[in-house]
Amino acid sequence: MELKKFFEETKEAALAFSGGADSAYLLSQAVKYAGRVKAYYVKSCFQPGFELADALRLAEELGADMEVLNLGDSVLDEKVASNPSDRCYHCKKKIMGAIKEAAVKDGFDIILDGTNASDDEADRPGMKALGEMNILSPLRICGLPKEEIRRLSKEEGLFTWDKPAYACLATRIPTGTAISPEILARVEAAEKSLMSIGFTDFRVRVFGGGARLQLKKAQMEKAFKEREEIVKVLKPFFDEILLDMEAR
């Protein structure tokens, strides 16, 4: 099935919108072909500020109806904050539950998300939650993989077409290590500082009491040359700074 046909048949839908490349393309097609669509962005301690800024910008450019649902630290209930191996499942249930509640109030029966055909179900506990809550993933249904979504997004003129994938801040914390608003804020601030000196598509992962920096291969040489600057911008947030020699 083509995405155009999906929306022509679906007519009305609510869309879980993260501001990333996948949900951005999905929203663009929904605005173009669906009869009525509304995007819902869940703001929580797991998302950095720039994700909301990107979501708002894209919604404005598309002329899309968008609502921000502010969950703040409430996502950190006991099942999520303890950071078990299936943390993503519990978190997804909470986030999609908030979206579903708001969408039903707005008269929507169908909820969509941006999971694509490249996403491996075995590696994503959150996909189990989507199935249980009857959330539809049109990009996956239509067989659209990540690279095709980027190509089509570029054709559509979406600024998100080459936006790096950005997993939530909770993924920076090792499984089994408790998650708190304080450590999430430190990780966000550290990554923002690293972006300010020209690094992109990286991760600052909590490693004991320090931080382990994961970079793409193309940025390794830059890291060696600018290691003093890296230490300078990350030291306010972590006492020990480590560089993972295996590129991500």
Q: What was the pLDDT predicted at 246?
A: 85
Bridge partner residues of 112 (DSSP): 15, 136
pLDDT of residue 208: 86
pLDDT value, residue 235: 94
Section 18-30 average pLDDT: 95
* Average pLDDT of the residues in 162-178: 91
pLDDT score of 167: 84
Which pLDDT score, from 0 to 100, does residue 122 have? 57
Mean pLDDT, residues 224-233 taken together = 94
Local confidence band at 171 (pLDDT 50, 70, 90 cut-offs): very high
Q: What is the per-residue pLDDT across 29-50, written as a single tens digit (0 to 9) for each?
A: 999 999 999 999 999 999 998 9
Compute the distance between CA of residue 160 and CA of residue 158 in angstroms, rounded to an integer.
Answer: 5
* pLDDT, the chain, mean: 92
What DSSP line would sit under 164-184, residue for residue? PP---GGGGSPTTSPP-HHHH
pLDDT reading at 150 higher than 80? yes
What is the model's pLDDT at position 147?
94
84-140 pLDDT, tens digit each: 999 999 999 999 999 999 999 999 999 999 999 887 665 567 788 888 889 999 999
